[in-house]
Amino acid sequence: MAYWLMKSEPDELSITDLARLKNTRWDGVRNYQARNFIRSMAEGDEFFFYHSSCPEPGIAGIARITAAGYPDPTALDPDSHYFDAKASTEKNPWTAVDVSHVETFKKVLGLGYLKQQTALAELPLVQKGSRLSVMPVTAEQWVAVLALR
């Protein structure tokens, strides 16, 4: 089983929303590097749910992949914020997965706090200039974050 970290703006989807929704489609990823990681995900993989672009950026909890990658329908929906005019049913370059809630942390592990952890120095999240919204997490990094809860 692999581990990941995925960013979401809590205004769009927060860990609390996910807990209420049970099973949810994770769509709208429009960056090739992030998409490639999405495509390597398997059912049962777990990921840290990161709140971005909000008053308290940080890891808010854990969620699980419940369905591996499939064509992202929002790319074909003209009413969607994520609509891609160049995508078609035959050729849709974008990928979505289904996810469900696992755990909400008692408190958000803030970005500044995460940056202080030497065990997380290699995590793209804490590296300068990194804007990657989906990234792999090693088993060591996973355990290190769990210990901060």
Pick the piece of the chain touching DNA (CB under 7 A) from 10-18, 19-27, 40-48, 123-131: 123-131
Question: Does residue number 129 form part of the binding site for DNA (CB under 7 A)?
Answer: yes
Residue among 126, 129, 149 at smallest CA distance from 5: 126
Question: Does residue number 100 form part of the binding site for DNA (CB under 7 A)?
Answer: no
Q: How many Cα atoms are found within 13 Å in the side-chain-facing hemisphere of 101?
A: 15
Question: Contact 119/125 with Cβ under 8 angstroms?
Answer: no
Residue 3 or residue 94: which is nearer to DNA going by CB?
94
Pick the piece of the chain touching DNA (CB under 7 A) from 25-33, 67-75, 96-104, 139-147: 25-33
Measured CA to CA, the distance from residue 89 to residue 125 in angstroms comes to: 33
Question: Which of 2, 25, 52, 102 touches DNA by CB under 7 A?
Answer: 52
Q: How many residues bind DNA (CB under 7 A)?
A: 18
For residue 8, what are the β-bridge partners?
A: 51
- In whole angstroms, the minimum distance from the beta carbon of 13 to DNA comes to 12
Question: Does residue number 124 form part of the binding site for DNA (CB under 7 A)?
Answer: no
CA dist 88 → 30, 76, 79, 141 (Å): 15, 6, 15, 38
**SS3 (DSSP) at 135:** strand
For residue 103, what are the β-bridge partners?
A: 62
Pick the piece of the chain touching DNA (CB under 7 A) from 17-25, 72-80, 89-97, 128-136: 128-136
Residues in contact with DNA by the rule CB under 7 A: 7, 9, 30-33, 52-54, 57, 111-112, 128-133
